Amino acid sequence: MARREILKTQDRQGLFDIPADEDSLIRHYSLSAADRLEIDLRRREHNKPGFAVQLCVMRHPGRVLAAGEIPPRAMLRYVADQIGADPTVFTTYARREETRRDHIARLMIYVGVRSATGQDRRAGLLSAIEAAAMSDSGASIVNVIVATLRERGVLLPAAEIIERMGLAARAIARRLAEGALIEGLAPEKLQALDKLLEGSVLVGGEMTP
């Protein structure tokens, strides 16, 4: 069975992918003097580009670099140039899971973020239900989840988890709306409505007798 989706491909890329255009690189991935010092401290030369890239990705889009993930070449080159490193050595870093985990732990302290908890995900879901009550747009609903998690200072979970939260929020909002529509109707009217639906067929998107 195909996985249910709430986002269009372009929306998903905009939220979770690493940008490579010049404006985005300058805006999101320009390293400060403090960043460069942190990168230089206790870092082996072949690990510096990986540490720097992980730092950048934690800030935007706000997640960790996945195991084996290779960022766009333009992003790697932009970050490596700032620290005087060879961007090609990143492929070695991407294969070292222990190093990646160690860097993530250090950078979470440096950046001031933490992993999402159940309470964080619940807060995101509640915000998404409110958004879904106003708009059925998948992008709008997921954007609210992402914004809520960022406001709480947590790293974004996997995109698939956030999309499932969005689907759940939209389903709950629809049920609440349906409940509000029939609230207060007399039992005999509800029965008449049920009979009307049972005796109808869906043709071209319209209910017909």
30-54, pLDDT tens digit by residue? 999 999 999 998 667 778 999 999 9
**Domain match, 98 and 170 both:** no
pTM metric for this prediction: 0.80
Listed in sequence order, the DSSP H helices in the chain are 9-16, 22-29, 33-40, 48-59, 73-83, 90-93, 97-111, 118-134, 138-151, 159-182, 187-198
Would residue 100 count as lying in a domain?
Answer: yes
CA 34 to chain centre: 27
**Domain match, 59 and 142 both:** no
Would residue 206 count as lying in a domain?
Answer: no
Answer whether residue 16 shows pLDDT above 60: yes
Would residue 208 count as lying in a domain?
Answer: no
Q: CA–CA separation, 53 vs 46, rounded Å?
A: 13
CA 137 to chain centre: 16
Q: CA–CA separation, 104 vs 142, rounded Å?
A: 25
Q: Which of 53, 77, 111 is the last residue of a domain?
A: 111
**Domain match, 143 and 184 both:** yes
Q: Which of 50, 76, 111 is the last residue of a domain?
A: 111
**Domain match, 105 and 128 both:** no
Parent domain of 176: 118-200
Would residue 3 count as lying in a domain?
Answer: no
**Domain match, 17 and 107 both:** yes
Nearest to 72 by CA among 96, 95, 56, 48: 56
Would residue 1 count as lying in a domain?
Answer: no
**Domain match, 177 and 92 both:** no
| Band of pLDDT at residue 205, cut at 50, 70 and 90 | very low
- Diameter of the chain measured on Cα atoms: 77
CB 57 within 8 A of CB 20: no
Would residue 138 count as lying in a domain?
Answer: yes
Fill in the DSSP letter of residue 117.
Answer: -
**Domain match, 97 and 124 both:** no
pLDDT at 3: 59
CA angle 105, 106, 107 (to 5 degrees): 95
**Domain match, 126 and 172 both:** yes
* Total domains in the fold of the chain: 2
**Domain match, 126 and 142 both:** yes
Answer whether residue 201 shows pLDDT above 50: no
**Domain match, 80 and 98 both:** yes
Compute the half-sphere exposure of residue 51: CA atoms within 13 Å on the CB side of its CA: 24
Q: Which of 77, 95, 111 is the last residue of a domain?
A: 111
Nearest to 110 by CA among 198, 39, 19: 39
Would residue 79 count as lying in a domain?
Answer: yes
Token code pair at residue 31: 């390293």
Would residue 159 count as lying in a domain?
Answer: yes
**Domain match, 34 and 56 both:** yes
pLDDT at 204: 39
* Mean pLDDT calculated for residue range 165-179: 89
* Mean pLDDT calculated for residue range 157-172: 93
**Domain match, 98 and 124 both:** no
Q: Which residue has the higher pLDDT, 139 or 97?
A: 139
Q: How far is CA 170 from CA 70, 132, 151, in A?
A: 33, 5, 21
